[in-house]
Amino acid sequence: MGVLNDVYEMLNTCNKCGFCLTACKTYKTDLREPLSPRGRIQLIKKLVDGVIEPDQDYEDAINSCLLCGECAVACPSGVKGNELVLAARRDLKLRHGIKPFAKSFALKTLASPSRLEHGFNFFKGVGKGLLKRIDGLDYFRGVDIRNMPAAEKPFLEQVPEQITVGDPQKKVAFFVGCFLNHSLDGTAHSVVKVLTKNNCDVIIPKDQVCCGLPQYAYGDFESAKANARKTIESFLDRKPDAVLTACASCGSMLRDEYLKLFADEPGYLPRVKEFCAKVFEFSEFVEDQIKLDESKLKAHTPVKVTYHDPCHMARHLKITSQPRQVLKSIPRLQFVEMNEANRCCGASGLVQAFYHQLSTDITRQKTQNIVDSGAEVVATSCPACMLRIQGGLNFAGKQQTVVHVADLLAKAYED
């Protein structure tokens, strides 16, 4: 109970006003009190007080949270419901490990580069072949798995460890992340292209691993710490001016959560702080550090583009203006805002796999907002959001395509 005792004061700070209900997408979709931030907080408090035991209903309430952070923004008392859920998940992990087995297996696979590569190799080989033969498996738990891209070989195997330019202004270490490495390798190439076109030497450490966010989100701090330590040492050893990621979720973990993860290791914390201070998200780095020379950008084919704010970008990293400025800098690209641009798309890591109907309903609203905007293309800054939203659009029979901000910018540098 130590984990939950540490947050007991925050549990008691909730005055049950209900402001969080207006923001919470799981509650607005399901309309059951236990799936609201207020409901989850009261369940956690009752567990600490010994009123209830952590039964299946309790675990479902805790594990179905999107961790989007909208409740924390809405709360007038400053209660961070997402952080309380993280504490509850940590408590569950300490009680009985990660359950069910499928979730534990998935998290262990993500944490291991070799296991993850084997998984993607199976998917793009035997897996996709089987899917094409089985009717009704176009969408599995709301994910468009038949059309989910898989790189012919991991991005890390396609590029050298260092890419140099003639007159380097900055030395940037690129944290690729799991999805860009194994699925959306074209976007990873777009990131490198933009950096080199802007006089940056690019270092791509071949020994990089998962940032640790999936494990951290389900209370496996030990596995998350192991990967975090590897990441910190690998990247700092190369002495970059900046560590760049093109994944909002990875960026949040690398820059913010590492500080929380190692808060109990004061001897190592200075090393962590040194690393975190170097971390930038792609559009943030491009807009604030590079300062684009727009005269070098070539005109796109005229296209109307909207932008989806990933939860980790808008509410965790608090980066919202930079991706829009990057998009607006591209000639002949017409930018339009969609309604509720920062509304969660429903991906939220493994929530989409284990609470797929809830996720699908949330994705459906995001899809409708995109359609209503009149945009032909949806840009975003998170690979998981890209795959989730594209699947939602495909499932709805819509024609819009989803791309990364880096893809659109890289295209403007085409010779």
Question: How far is residue 334's CA from residue 241's CA, in Å, rounded to a whole number?
Answer: 33
Per-residue pLDDT of the chain (415 residues; tens, 9 = 90+): 589 999 999 999 999 999 999 999 999 998 899 999 999 999 999 999 999 999 999 999 999 999 999 999 999 999 999 999 999 999 999 999 999 988 898 899 888 888 888 777 766 665 555 555 555 445 555 567 777 888 889 999 999 999 999 889 999 999 999 999 999 999 999 999 999 999 999 999 999 999 999 999 999 999 999 999 999 999 999 999 999 999 999 999 999 999 999 999 999 999 999 999 999 999 999 999 998 888 889 888 899 999 999 999 999 999 999 999 999 999 999 999 999 999 999 988 888 888 988 999 999 999 999 999 999 999 999 999 999 999 999 989 999 999 999 999 999 997 6
Domains plus CATH for the chain?
2-96 (1.10.1060.10), 292-411 (3.40.50.10700)
82 within 8 A of 65, measured Cβ to Cβ: yes
Question: How far is residue 267's CA from residue 271's CA, in Å, rounded to a whole number?
Answer: 9
Question: How far is residue 208's CA from residue 279's CA, in Å, rounded to a whole number?
Answer: 15
Enter the pTM of the model. 0.94
Question: How far is residue 102's CA from residue 36's CA, in Å, rounded to a whole number?
Answer: 25
For the chain, give the longest Cα–Cα distance. 67
